[in-house]
Amino acid sequence: MNRLAVELPGLSLKNPIMPASGCFGFGREYAKFYDLSVLGAIMIKATTLEARFGNPTPRVAETPSGMLNAIGLQNPGVDRVINEELPWLAQYDVPIIANVAGSTVEEYVEVARRISKAPNVHALELNISCPNVKKGGIAFGTVPEVAAELTRAVKEVSDVPVYVKLSPNVTNIVAMARAVEQAGADGLTMINTLLGMRIDVKTAKPILANRTGGLSGPAIKPIAIRMIYEVSQAVSIPIIGMGGIESAEDVIEFFYAGASAVAIGTANFIDPYVCPNIIRDLPNVLDELRIDHISQCTGRGWNNGQTVYCGT
């Protein structure tokens, strides 16, 4: 028995560990460090219809236990991702979750329609939560009706299951989760970064050229845990959890909160080997906890050990 294997809509994962979108590029850099086939899946960098340069630099700033980024969805455009990046990734035995972004509903729909046809794309992650672009991104992720409408439109054209990436920059994340679930979302990924800012003490100017950026890293982990804990009790679709995960113990905590798989983001920047290390460590942690299978952890924080979502 593979005690780490997880079944989710569109995804048969050999383990529940995947790098988070925007923290792994399209995999090429990390392939120099290890065999990408060890990963459960890869969430590739957000893709828009046309190529984007993104924001001016500085684009990152360190914070206590975290970092701010304002990259601005830099990417080579959907056609180049389909023609160059995805075929390159196909050499690895790993399902791809394609992060889809846009400025308008039409753009999201077109990107989703095209990229969901790529053979190694097993699911889409609808990015309605990027805080670093003027149009689109988070604009679709803070009003339940708007998020639901977009989810419906993308579901109609997508050849693969659609996961919606939720923003923590809302007053009621449960309402957002319910809205996209009712609109047909197959799963949720959460959380994206929290909007934050730093100001240089010497110059009195914002450190990021974009002024504000998205906060990630261990600093946001308790927020992610709380939100997954709330949302997982309110919906019946699975959650891929993320937000400051650094270790196998963190993974278990996310599962206990209600996640069925997890993504690793900022930690990849600090240790390029963090994903394979966590995959290596997980069985030992399960042993210590006397748990047979990782899926048994899902929702334990609130359901007294009943399995919530164990797939099909």
Partner 1 sequence: MKENMKIIANRQIAKDIYELTLAGSLVQRMRTPGQFVHMKVANSGPLLRRPLSLCDINQEANECTIIYRAEGAGTTLLSQKLPGDTVDVLGPLGNGFSVSALSSGQRALLVGGGIGVPPLYELAKQLVKKGVFVTIVLGFQTKDVVFYEERFASFGETYVATVDGSYGMKGFVTDVIHHHRLSFHVLYACGPKPMLRALANEFPHQDVYLSLEERMGCGIGACFACVCRVPHSETAYKKVCSDGPVFRAGEVVL
Give me the residues that bind partner 1 (CB under 8 A), please.
22-25, 28-30, 32-33, 45, 51-54, 57-63, 65-67, 69, 71, 74, 76, 217-218, 266, 268-273
Provide the minimum distance between the beta carbon of 283 and partner 1 in the complex, in angstroms, as a whole number: 23
| Nearest-approach distance from CB 280 to partner 1, in angstroms | 15
C-beta of 83: minimal distance to partner 1 in Å?
Answer: 16
Is 25 annotated among the ligand-binding residues?
no
- Which residues fall within 8 angstroms of residue 202, CB to CB, at 6 or more apart? none
Q: Any binding-site annotation on 77?
A: no
Q: Which amino acid is at 13?
A: L
**CB contact at 8 A, 98 and 116:** yes
Residue 284 annotated as lining a ligand binding site: no
Nearer to partner 1, 12 or 63 (CB): 63
Q: Is 135 assigned to a binding site?
A: no
- List active site positions: 130
Give the relative orientation of helices 144-157 and 173-182 as an angle to the nearest 10 degrees. Answer: 30
72 known member of a binding site: yes
Nearer to partner 1, 51 or 285 (CB): 51
Please name which of 254, 302, 258 lies closest in space to residue 278, comparing C-alpha atoms: 254
Q: How far is the CB of 71 from partner 1 (least distance, A)?
A: 5
Task: Give the residue with the Cβ less far from partner 1, 49 or 297.
Answer: 49
In terms of CB distance, is 48 or 296 closer to partner 1?
Answer: 48
Indicate the annotated binding residues for substrate: 45, 69-73, 127, 192-193
